[in-house]
Amino acid sequence: MNRKTLLFVAVLAALGAGSTLAATQAADAQKPARASLDKNNDGAIDKAEAAAHPRLAERFADLDSNGDGKLSAEERPHRQGMRGPGRHGGGERGAMAFRKLDADGDGKVSRAEAAADPSFAGRFDRLDANKDGAIDRLDRELRGQQRRDAWFAKADADKDGKLTRAEIDQAHAARRAEAGQRMQARMDQRFATADANKDGRLSREEVKDGRLASRFDALDTDKDGSLSKDELAAGRPARR
C-alpha cells in the first residue's frame, strides 16, 4: 500500500469518525427531556417512575393515550418555551407580552406596570406568589412548586411522605372524576344556552351556527330532527 493509498484511507477514517460524532450529537439532542426518569431504561416511563415528578404523575392518565400504563417518547410532554404571565400563554408570544409589561426592563412586572393590562392586574395578588410586590420567574416557579406540593399532599392518602402505585392510581381516578364533572357542567350550560325554546332538545335551527351542525345527522340517532342530551353524550369521543 503506497503513501497516497494510506493518505486516502486516513481521510476516509477521519470523515467516518466525524460522521459518527455528528450522528451521536444529533441523537443526544433528540433525547426526551425526561429520560432521566426512565430508571429501567426501557424507553418509557411507568407510573412508579413518574411518581418522582409530581406534575407528570398528576397528568399521567391524560398523557397515557393508549392506556398501557406507560408514557412513550411520543406521549411525554415537551416544553415549547418559557411560559409568560397570566393569560398570555407560553412560548415567544408570552415572553413578548411579559417584556411589553416590563416597561423598565428589570425582568419583573410591578403593580404599576401591570396596570397596563387590566386582566393581568386583576390577578396580580394571586400571581405574586412570594408577595414581594412584583411578578417574575421566581413567582412562576414558586406557583408551580405549590401546585406540585398540593397535588402530592392530596395524593398521599396515608401521609407518609411517599406515593405508592395505589395512591397514584387513586389520585388519577379522582382527578378524572372531577374533570368529568366539570366537563358535564360545561356541557349542561352550553346545552341550556343553545336550547332557546327550553324544550330539553336541540333542533337543527338551534344549532345551525354551532359546531354540532356538521354532525347533526350522525348524532340524531332516533332521526326525530332534534338532539337530546343522551344523544350528545353518546356521540362524545371516549377518553382512553
pLDDT value of position 117 = 92
Please state, in angstroms and rounded to a whole number, the distance separating the CA atoms of residues 172 and 155.
9
Quick one: pLDDT band at residue 15, thresholds 50, 70, 90? very low
Q: State the Cα angle at 145 between 144 and 146, rounded to 5°.
A: 90
User: Do you know the residue count of the chain?
Assistant: 240
pLDDT value of position 69 = 82
- Name the residue with higher pLDDT: 113 or 236: 113
Q: Measure the N-to-C terminal CA separation of the chain; round to a whole number of Å.
A: 65
pLDDT value of position 75 = 76
86-155 and 173-234 have identical folds: yes
pLDDT value of position 187 = 85
pLDDT in tens, 66-121: 777 888 877 776 543 334 444 444 556 767 888 889 999 899 999 999 999 998 89
* Torsion angle of the four alpha carbons 56, 62, 64, 68, in this order, in degrees rounded to the nearest 10: 120
Please state, in angstroms and rounded to a whole number, the distance separating the CA atoms of residues 69 and 47.
7
CATH number, span 86-155: 1.10.238
Q: Is 83 helix (H, G, I), strand (E, B) or coil?
A: strand
Q: Is 32 helix (H, G, I), strand (E, B) or coil?
A: coil
- The reported pTM is 0.46
Task: Please give the mean pLDDT across all residues of the chain.
Answer: 77
In this structure, whether the domain defined by 173-234 belongs to CATH 1.10.3720.10 is answered with no
Give me 89's grid cell.
400563554
Domain map (residue ranges) of the chain? 86-155, 173-234
pLDDT value of position 92 = 65
pLDDT in tens, 201-220: 999 888 887 777 888 889 98
